[in-house]
Structure 1
Amino acid sequence: MRAPSALSPFGLLFIALGAVLELAAWLAWFGLGGVPGTAVFLVLHAAAALGIAVGAWLLLPLRLRGGRGSAIAFFFSAAFFTSWLGMAGIVLALLPGFYRYGLRREPGWEQRREPDLPFKPVQVNPNGVFMRVGLAAVVKYFRDTDLRRRAVMATRHLSGRRAVPILRQALRDPADEVRLLAYSMLSGKERVFELEIRRLQAELREHDGRSGDWLREQIASLYWEQSSLGLVEGEVQAFVLQEALLNIDAALSGRPTAGRHYLRGKLCMRLGRYNDAERALSEARRLGLDDNRTAPYFAELAFLRRDYATCRAELARVGHEIRKLPRLEPVVQYWI
């Protein structure tokens, strides 16, 4: 930014000339009197006002010298119509004020406080309430709306299997902002599955043979994951499972593998078709799928048939590492 200019010598000269002319005007007024004195006074007073106006403009800082004609007219009017008081006001009040303003530098940057936006990344304190009681408890029991909203936002850092139940709980929240936030986050997760399934279906229409079988297996896996995460319920879930079963059957008709039979067995279990599930899981085991994946489902089938001895025997086939999984550990500890 350009610094203000120093005091202009020409400006000071015009101010001095104006002061002398003003003094002469008053001397003529008192000395001559009457009409001649008044005429001389007006001429000298106008000349003095013009000198003061030009001098004041020359003394302005460079940044304030825009509009020369209007600025000089303003100073001339103030000096002429208020006589000596206007001239003194320009020299002793206006000019120092303008010059002081010209010395003030505007900062290039202005520091502002960071706004408290609602969607900033959530920083989870290990000693905070979220870690002590869990996000699900915060959403379900806490009265503080902002705390419940933050708990819903924190589900972004969880796996889908853990986040979806909390989001579904938040859909029943009394606060609109919490419900809408949970709904938008669930919709976003569903949208990801829908877009990927549509992409695979479009690709499937352009392929056949083994590549088509693989695409159908991927579509069935996405449908299964969408259902297992709890993103769909009721009749929509039944439709999704049926679509998954149709796709995995089509893949099996092309090339049966242990993984495809295993997926078909899980789908049949979820649909309540237990005999079909047993056949599919048995075929998956025959083709080499390890017991860590098939034994829990065989144990569940045996339990549903009240064959508790087989249930215990199947759970015994599960490896020690798999037994430590959170969902399986209490079951294994009860039966074995």
Structure 2
Amino acid sequence: MNASLFSLGAWLSPQTTAPEQLVLTLLLINTLLSLLIALPARRLIPAKLRGLPVIDYATLTAMGALIPILGPLLLLAMLLVLPRLEKARVPQLPRHLSAPTFAPEIPSEPGHFGVGGAIARLRNLDPGSAQGSRALMAIESQRSANTTELLRETLRHPDEHLRLLAHALIDRREAGITRMIKRLEGAVPHTVERTQGTLRLELAELHQELLYMGLVREGMSRLHLQASRRHLDAAREVIGETPRLLRIEARLMQQSGHPVQAADTYARALEAGAPPARVLPYLAEIAWRRRDYPAIRALLARSALFTELPVVGRVVKRWAPLS
């Protein structure tokens, strides 16, 4: 029987009616059915897990061919059931995207591309959706600490395209400020003394901007604080204590963890003629971190500046009856 079982001539002979011919015929039909089902079944393999088409088809065919009769049936069941399960699956929303400080309530279907709208769209993981990319590009013009934080959180997004886009936008923000710092540092030795003081102030503020925007690389915060202090001291020797210098110095104290001294210096900057729009928000931030709500109300009532801000304006209106 073994000799006739593995004899291709005996199997092909029309006079042969041995049981082995029936077995081999069933195996051949089993293999052909598995191959036919493997053609559409390859589409069920996730794109990242697919290999060469020949290898994928051969693997699926072997899965069906090595299990007589049940193999093709299992492949067919997989072909029919898995697409239904995929359609019924609820997309898992990422939980790593947190709302920024002072953010307004985020509606379920925002009609804008602010920070809240960007968060809502980045939580949408529908395949093929371009909403996440559009949201990141829209908030690129809103360069603030909140949007930088959102870009950094997007670096942990499950969509690889969004991760790469967020990384590129962060690099572009950092490169823009770093380029300005290098250009001004190269221009300082070639300018007159009075102009050097102004350039030094600009350099001190640019180093602070990197810190405020959250663009400083790990371990570089102390370096930028020292650079800001160095340029600030050099500017004081040339132009003295101007309102802008006091404002920048107060901001440096605030970033260094000295809020009390920073508040006093901000007050001196206001008395010296610094624009309230460049000072009052920082005083309000210090009062907020200290949970000094009476001071916050006093600052809100001091200027109409806060009512014009999109987020803080809502807080001012809610607190107005209490003040």
The bucket for the TM-score relative to the shorter chain is 0.5 to 0.7
Name 2:211's counterpart in structure 1: 227
Name 2:52's counterpart in structure 1: none
**CA shift in 2, pair 1:141/1:204, >3 Å:** same
Name 1:270's counterpart in structure 2: 255
Name 2:120's counterpart in structure 1: 137
Aligned AA for 1:264?
A: E
**CA shift in 2, pair 1:289/1:314, >3 Å:** same
**One of 280, 287, 292 as aligned partner of 2:272:** 287
Q: What is the percent sequence identity of the aligned residues?
A: 26
**CA shift in 2, pair 1:296/1:179, >3 Å:** closer
CA distance in 2, matches of 1:158, 1:216: 27
Q: TM-score, normalised by structure 2?
A: 0.55
Query: Secondary structure of the equivalent of 2:214?
Result: coil
1:239 lines up with 2:228 in the alignment: no
CA distance in 2, matches of 1:145, 1:169: 21
Question: Which structure: greater helix fraction?
Answer: 1
Kindly indicate whether the alpha-carbon contact (under 8 Å) linking 1:156 and 1:163 is maintained by their aligned counterparts in 2. Answer: yes
Query: Secondary structure of the equivalent of 1:195?
Result: helix
RMSD: 3.1
**CA shift in 2, pair 1:272/1:145, >3 Å:** farther
Q: Which has the larger radius of gyration?
A: 1
CA distance in 1, matches of 2:307, 2:236: 30
**One of 154, 157, 162 as aligned partner of 2:137:** 154
**CA shift in 2, pair 1:144/1:196, >3 Å:** same
Q: TM-score, normalised by structure 1?
A: 0.53
Aligned AA for 1:170?
A: T
**One of 238, 241, 261 as aligned partner of 2:246:** 261
CA distance in 2, matches of 1:156, 1:323: 22
Deviation, structure 1 residue 261: 0.8
Kindly indicate whether the alpha-carbon contact (under 8 Å) linking 1:152 and 1:182 is maintained by their aligned counterparts in 2. Answer: no
Matching of residues 1-336 of structure 1 within 5 Å:
131=112, 134-144=117-127, 146-147=129-130, 150-151=133-134, 154-155=137-138, 158-161=141-144, 163-207=147-191, 209-232=193-216, 235-255=219-239, 256-302=241-287, 304=289, 307-319=292-304, 321-332=305-316, 333-334=318-319, 336=323
CA distance in 1, matches of 2:297, 2:117: 33
- Matched positions, count: 208
**CA shift in 2, pair 1:177/1:149, >3 Å:** same
Deviation, structure 1 residue 204: 1.4
Kindly indicate whether the alpha-carbon contact (under 8 Å) linking 2:124 and 2:132 is maintained by their aligned counterparts in 1. Answer: no
Q: Deviations over 1:283-306 (max 9, x none)?
A: 212212244443343344455556
CA distance in 1, matches of 2:199, 2:265: 20
Deviation, structure 1 residue 174: 1.6
Kindly indicate whether the alpha-carbon contact (under 8 Å) linking 2:250 and 2:262 is maintained by their aligned counterparts in 1. Answer: yes
Query: Secondary structure of the equivalent of 2:190?
Result: coil
CA distance in 2, matches of 1:249, 1:268: 13
CA distance in 2, matches of 1:145, 1:233: 33
Q: Which runs of 5+ in 1 are unaligned?
A: 1-127
Deviation, structure 1 residue 230: 2.5
